[in-house]
Amino acid sequence: MAEQVEEPSVRPSDPWRGPKFLTTKHNGSHTWQVIAGSATLGLAVAAGAVLAAGPWDNGQRKAERALAAAADHTGGAHHGRTTPEGPRPAPSAPAVLPALTAAKAAQDPAGLRAALTPLVDAPGLGKKLAASVVDTATGEQLYGHGATTPMTPASTIKIATTTAALSVLGPDHRIATTAALSPDSRTLTLVGGGDPTLAKADLRAMAAEAADALREDGEDPAGPVRLTYDVSRYTGPELHPISPNENIAPVTALMIDEGRLDGSDRGPADRTDDPAGDAARAFAEALEKAGVQVTGAPREARAADEARTVATHRSAPLSALAERTLTNSDNDIAEALARQTAIAKGEKASFAGARRAVTNELKKLQLPVGGAHFADGSGLDRKDRVTPALLTALLARAADPDRPGLRPVLTGLPIAGFSGTLDGRYERDAAGTGLVRAKTGTLRGVNSLAGTVVDRQGRLLAFAFLASGSTSAAGAEPALDALATALAGV
């Protein structure tokens, strides 16, 4: 039976589908604001982000702003309405809440304990709960309940995976897929770089580039060529320990659309058992349509050392991939980011190499990795272990104004009631809707929630609640949501 995991929303806020919710501004290096405005839903709340450059521009995800502009071609301040005097300024919505500046007083740990203690014993949470709440501005732990206890994190481990990848590679890194031509122009090799988001349209563009290069070599029509494909960038087992499984494809350096067979781009789906071969066959078809004669069926082989690159496709920036990983709880991208981290750290691009690389990078960031075990990058493996204290430390580090490159860890978190895996978790009029941003985690008997919320003093709090032994997600999730919501009211 397939492992029970969360089923990502079909309406996330990400660069592929567009935003549902506009979030966050930062005013000064240690001043967090929460701003609420009125719209048709009567609620749009923004919580702490970044002054520095990065995937956000003045608090708004750049990809979201670009998509919003593309969707409204009239755009501008006048919203498409003109007057004889020129564009009419758009009215500003009145604030529901005043902007919060620097916290007037430190958060009272006793108040936090009073708010959370009745909730940590909720029957739906199961046999064991571990928790941590910290003030991101100071790093001070405000509440702990088994905070240093290693627990199975499920998908909240993706917070560690994306942090390590962004720290090592930077938010602007792109994963390259290339086509290499042999010196005699008779063998073309599709070289996988580890981009699970590669699409057929990308292969068509690469095929056109390759065809042009072949014609420059004096062939018209181009070819004939033999087609091979190279997956040597990754090593070790391709199958995740829970595979075959609808939640993850074989982990290989070459695939298209995450090996999905149903046209989806998130959530469980039937997966191919030969993602690299499928990608190569799709490339062969694209080459034929581009006028290149391809002889025989594609076969696996490494590109020759002296082969020259004749076509390249680069993935979306790592900042966008990290956001998509967190918003949609994307297991395939998470495993790819773990392997990209391994490669950058000089480790083998395998499950074991990724474990060493992620662990060592988090140590380099001076994070509390004691008791942690990163068996995979996605959280599907029950051998994974993290502590609540590590998760809150990761979130606090991502909020550090001096580390803008880690900001996608925060901007990618699902928004309660609005996006990703929290889209359907909060009612529209619930107290935590729009205020809680958190990564969810669900395996059979394991439920977790880790993210951020702005309290009434205007402080950005990072929290992690890890529960095990629950009888059902339907009972555990509302209890976790109540814990996160309580933080916003203290």
Q: Which residues are catalytic?
A: 155, 158, 329
Amino acid at 307: A
Phi, psi of 116 (to 5 degrees): -90, -30
Q: Alpha-carbon distance 421 to 169, whole Å?
A: 26
Place of tokens 């009631």: 417
Q: Alpha-carbon distance 445 to 443, whole Å?
A: 6
Amino acid at 42: G
Judge whether 451 and 436 are in contact, CB under 8 Å.
yes
Place of tokens 């755009």: 75
250 preceded by a cis bond (ω within 30 of 0): no
Judge whether 187 and 298 are in contact, CB under 8 Å.
no
| Strand, coil or helix: 68 | helix
471: left (phi over 0), alpha (psi -120 to 50) or beta: alpha
The number of beta carbons lying within 10 Å of the beta carbon of residue 317 is 20
Sign of the Cα torsion 323, 466, 144, 108 reads positive
Q: Alpha-carbon distance 392 to 135, whole Å?
A: 9
Q: Alpha-carbon distance 101 to 66, whole Å?
A: 29
Sign of the Cα torsion 208, 210, 213, 217 reads negative
With CA atoms as reference, report the closest residue to 319 among 155, 164, 173, 160. Answer: 173
Burial (0-12, 13-18, 19+ Cβ within 10 Å), 91: exposed
Q: Alpha-carbon distance 155 to 441, whole Å?
A: 4
Residue 334 makes CB contacts below 8 A (sequence gap 6+) with 158, 161, 162, 325, 377, 378, 379
**The Cα angle at residue 392 between residues 413 and 370, in degrees rounded to 5:** 130
Q: Alpha-carbon distance 182 to 306, whole Å?
A: 7
Distances (CA, A) of 199 to 192, 249, 316, 338, 476: 13, 15, 12, 21, 37
Amino acid at 115: A
Instruction: Supply 327's token pair.
Output: 């918003």
221 preceded by a cis bond (ω within 30 of 0): yes
Task: Tell me the Cα Rg of the chain.
Answer: 24
The tally of CA atoms less than 13 A away on the side-chain side of residue 285 is 10
